[in-house]
Amino acid sequence: MNSIVCLKQVPDTEAQILATPDGSDVKLDGVKFIISPYDEYGIEEALLQKEKAGGGEVTLVSMGPARAVEAIRTGLAMGADKAVHLDDEAFNGSDAQAAAKALAAQIKGMQYDIIYCGRQAIDDDQSQVGPALAELLGLPHTSLVTKVEVAADKKSVKVNRQIVGGEEILEIPLPCVLTCQKGLNEPRYASLPGIMKAKKKPLQPVKAAEIGIDAGTVGAAGSGTRVVKFTAPPTRTSAKIISGESPEEKAANLAKALREEAKAI
């Protein structure tokens, strides 16, 4: 069972992210970076399916700057066999569609049964790369996957996916693209032996020209969307306790506060 996992390095969920004074970017100096958590479910599922099949390879594919190597090495330490790093200034500023285009250009020449992506990256929350990648590769796709069962003949996969109020069960022919939801599995930690082995595992850097990508079709130049401005969420004001001797008095005081202070009515 050969699997590809698309991996993105993102700021730590506990990091304090601040916008630049003009709002054109965010300050990342000193910020810790991690694997996007939903991508970790993809890595774990690929490893589990390899173990169940008794063989195969798990390959990580990541697009990002030089610092993304740290996240890639973490994925290799978890147990992935090898990795490809799309590292080129031409990719800088790619929106979701441009990122999918770059990933598809790399993946189209690789061998795989399943491509795993996180349901979304936690830095932009767009949930677009997985579906766009499937479309570009001409593959069937489903999202929010919480269970994966590969058929004995390895020609199809049965998946459970989260929907509002329940689950949907689908059977999909292989190869396919799956985006992973929380609850699919419990991602393993990278062990010390795994970390040591990861240093020797293949990690191939790839430039845009090597996969036939025109620099004008990716990055900021090839993106159909752009971030207009980064702003911090509004500061939360303290809550006000509505007092009163009776429910009727409390209701009257609430109405007064909404009318005179909040200007809501």
For residue 142, the domain's CATH number is 3.40.50.620
pLDDT at 182: 95
Residue (of 211, 195, 197, 207) closest to 70 by Cα position = 195
Together in a domain, 93 and 181: yes
Together in a domain, 113 and 138: yes
pLDDT at 189: 95
In a domain, 224, yes or no: no
* Gap between the Cα atoms of 199 and 213, Å rounded: 29
In a domain, 227, yes or no: no
Domain count, the chain: 2
In a domain, 58, yes or no: yes
Together in a domain, 75 and 104: yes
In a domain, 228, yes or no: no
In a domain, 229, yes or no: no
pLDDT at 61: 98
Together in a domain, 140 and 264: no
In a domain, 223, yes or no: no
CB 173 within 8 Å of CB 138: no
Together in a domain, 238 and 203: no
pLDDT at 99: 96
Local confidence pLDDT in tens for the 265 residues of the chain: 999 999 999 999 888 888 888 888 888 888 999 999 999 999 999 999 999 999 999 999 999 999 999 999 999 999 999 999 999 999 999 999 999 999 999 999 999 999 999 999 998 888 999 999 999 999 999 999 999 999 999 999 999 999 999 999 999 999 999 999 999 999 999 999 999 999 999 999 999 999 999 999 999 999 999 888 888 878 777 778 889 999 999 999 999 988 888 788 8
Together in a domain, 124 and 191: yes
Range of the domain at 239: 234-265
In a domain, 175, yes or no: yes
Together in a domain, 121 and 246: no
pLDDT at 33: 95
In a domain, 186, yes or no: yes
Together in a domain, 183 and 152: yes
pLDDT at 265: 82
Q: Which pair of structure tokens corresponds to residue 126?
A: 């767009």
pLDDT at 24: 84
Together in a domain, 259 and 193: no
CA distances from 218 to 114, 209, 233 (A): 25, 12, 30
Together in a domain, 23 and 97: yes
pLDDT at 15: 85
pLDDT at 262: 79
